[in-house]
A and B are shown apart, each in its own frame.
Chain A
Amino acid sequence: MSTPTTRSFASAEGGTPYEVNGFVAAVRSHLDDLSVDEVTELTGGLEADLTDALAEADSSLSQLYGDPAEYAGELRAAAGLPPRGAVAEAPREPGLGLAARLEQDFIVPMQEAMQNVVERLDLQPWWPGVRDFLVAIRPAWWVLRAWVVVEGFFMVAGVGDSVVRGGFGGLVLLLAAIVVSVQMARQAPLPATWMRVLVAAWSLGAALLLLPLLFASTGSQNIISDDSGLELDSLSIDGEAIHNVFPYDSAGRPLTGVQLFDQNGRPLEIGEGDRGYWDDDTGISMELVPGSPVGSAPRWNAFPLQVRRNDAVTDEPGPVEPAPLPLTGVPSQSGEPTSTSGPTPSASSAPSPSATATPSASPSASTGKHKDDAKSK
């Protein structure tokens, strides 16, 4: 083996002349229709061979070998592989499945690009350590990509929008995905084309979605509490907005002008978005009208609020009137139902007494307390 004497060529870190690296890269680019394995097999050690040839010759590689395309053609012909084009065209025959076409068009080029990157990295002195580290944390990636696919599913399906909130089912799904993910990684290379395509798409998608999903799922805690905060702006029971409150005294008689406050002395006001509702029975839209003593702001916390019926057709506002009572009678403290002496409830807004507990149960129970609060204030 002769060493270059007068010739001195610019050399890359691995001792390969740049000229050789460039030529080999060009040759590989003319083989890019072949599989990664075939290209690796065909060009493995080629740098060393060309480096030696260059060292012994008195000319440049292009003078020695001419066009890299011709060189690549000679290489593949001698290796018994079909010329370029014959391979590339064949897979596009209609008989070829979608999976095989996807692999040919997207996954193989992607793997080749990665292969090229790794080959460059192989020349770096710091790379082996990094590579070993990356190989060591690969199982973590298998678990992560399983999490991404399940988390993504929950987000798209809108079910609890997180694996954690998906409950037991979410946990089972996550475990199943982890098993599939790890097994697919351990079985590599996978036998079926569609499996390889699936795993490649999965990995790529997971890599792209990992960060957004991480942000979304950690940030969702705040969003949720914001949501419930918004809902607290108005009064609600079982998730349904409260439009009006009907207080009754201990004898079961309806009260008017009862002001309600919470434990901090804040008025329990009907939310701005709830100051009107659609009466399902009559089809009439009801507008709520607060009591507004002269010189003070409208009291949205003084119940029951009065109503104004708007004409169903013209939507013209009608006269202000007392709100129809939802219940015909409320038990007195002694338990005996008392007939109401208030305004006659319209048939439409009078469901069976026990049907809704809304006015009688919680609001009236808390009325006394809040009345006390209001007094003590």
Chain B
Amino acid sequence: MDTTQLLKGVLDLAVLAAVSEEDGYGYEVLRRLRAAGLVDVGDASVYGTLRRLYAAGALTSYVVPSDEGPHRKYYGINAHGRATLETQSKTWADFADTMNGLLADRIAAKETR
């Protein structure tokens, strides 16, 4: 199954979750998502999502100069972002429950056949 299609629907939620504990710059957020198992997530998708969430007012942003490299743009969650994270987490949980239930019924039916 192509997980990139699935990812598209939940990328906002995933990115919000990735910065909910600690602020991070683009590549850092990407690594957190990959470390969590979302290995197929694309760089540009994550960066674009960060920009969009920031533009939507769900994230704060600040630039940290670096001595040995270009400056890094950090993103952090704010109150609005946290509220969004809560709502979307619940939506996802309900959706996942529904899907799991559907698939469990199907699996059960297959086994009883």
Note whether A and B form a binding pair. yes
Contact yes or no, B25 A48, CB < 8 A = yes
Overall SS of chain A's interface: helix
Most buried by B among A46, A71, A72: A46
Q: Which residues of A contact B47 (CB under 8 A)?
A: 42, 46, 49, 75, 78
Cα-based distance from A14 to B66 in the complex (angstroms): 9
Instruction: From the candidates B44, B67, B72, name the one contacting A78 in the complex (CB within 8 A).
Output: B44
Q: Which residues of B contact A16 (CB under 8 A)?
A: 69-70
Cα-based distance from A74 to B67 in the complex (angstroms): 30
A337 within 8 A of B: no
A32-68 near B? 1/0 per residue, CB < 8 Å: 0000000001101111111111000000000001000
Cα-based distance from A53 to B26 in the complex (angstroms): 10
B43 within 8 A of A: yes
Instruction: From the candidates A20, A48, A52, A78, name the one contacting B46 in the complex (CB within 8 A).
Output: A78
CB nearest to A54 among chain B residues: B27
Contact yes or no, B27 A49, CB < 8 A = yes
Looking at the complex, which of B48-56, B76-84, B88-96, B104-112 is the stretch in contact with chain A? B48-56
Q: Which residues of A contact B63 (CB under 8 A)?
A: 44-45
Q: Which residues of B contact A47 (CB under 8 A)?
A: 69-70
Total residue contacts A-B, CB cutoff 8 A: 88
Cα-based distance from A42 to B45 in the complex (angstroms): 11
Contact yes or no, B27 A52, CB < 8 A = yes
B1-45 near A? 1/0 per residue, CB < 8 Å: 000000000010000000000000111101000000000001111
CB nearest to A78 among chain B residues: B48
Q: Which residues of B contact A71 (CB under 8 A)?
A: 43-44
Contact yes or no, B45 A74, CB < 8 A = yes
For residue A336, give the distance in angstroms from its CB to the closest CB of chain B: 99
Contact yes or no, B44 A75, CB < 8 A = yes
- Known pairs A15-B66, A45-B63, A48-B26; A77 contacts B71 (CB<8 A): no
A275 within 8 A of B: no
Contact yes or no, B69 A14, CB < 8 A = yes
- Known pairs A14-B70, A44-B73, A74-B42; A49 contacts B48 (CB<8 A): no
Contact yes or no, B69 A15, CB < 8 A = yes
Cα-based distance from A16 to B30 in the complex (angstroms): 19
Instruction: From the candidates A15, A41, A50, A75, name the one contacting B68 in the complex (CB within 8 A).
Output: A15
Q: Which residues of B contact A41 (CB under 8 A)?
A: 51, 54-55
Q: Which residues of B contact A76 (CB under 8 A)?
A: 48
Contact yes or no, B66 A74, CB < 8 A = no
A80 within 8 A of B: yes
Contact yes or no, B26 A49, CB < 8 A = yes
Question: What are the 7 tightest A-B residue pairs by CB atom distance, in nearest-first order?
Answer: A78-B48, A45-B73, A74-B44, A47-B70, A49-B26, A79-B48, A15-B69
Question: Hey, which bits of chain B sit against chain A, CB under 8 A?
Answer: 11, 25-28, 30, 42-49, 51-52, 54-55, 63, 66-73
- Residue pairs across A and B with Cβ atoms less than 8 A apart, 22 shown, are A14-B69, A15-B66, A15-B69, A42-B47, A44-B63, A45-B70, A47-B70, A48-B66, A49-B25, A50-B27, A51-B70, A52-B27, A52-B28, A65-B44, A71-B43, A71-B44, A74-B42, A75-B45, A78-B48, A78-B51, A79-B49, A80-B52
Query: A41-B51, A79-B55 known; 10 other A-B pairs, CB under 8 Å?
Result: A15-B68, A15-B69, A42-B48, A45-B25, A45-B73, A49-B30, A72-B44, A74-B42, A74-B48, A78-B49
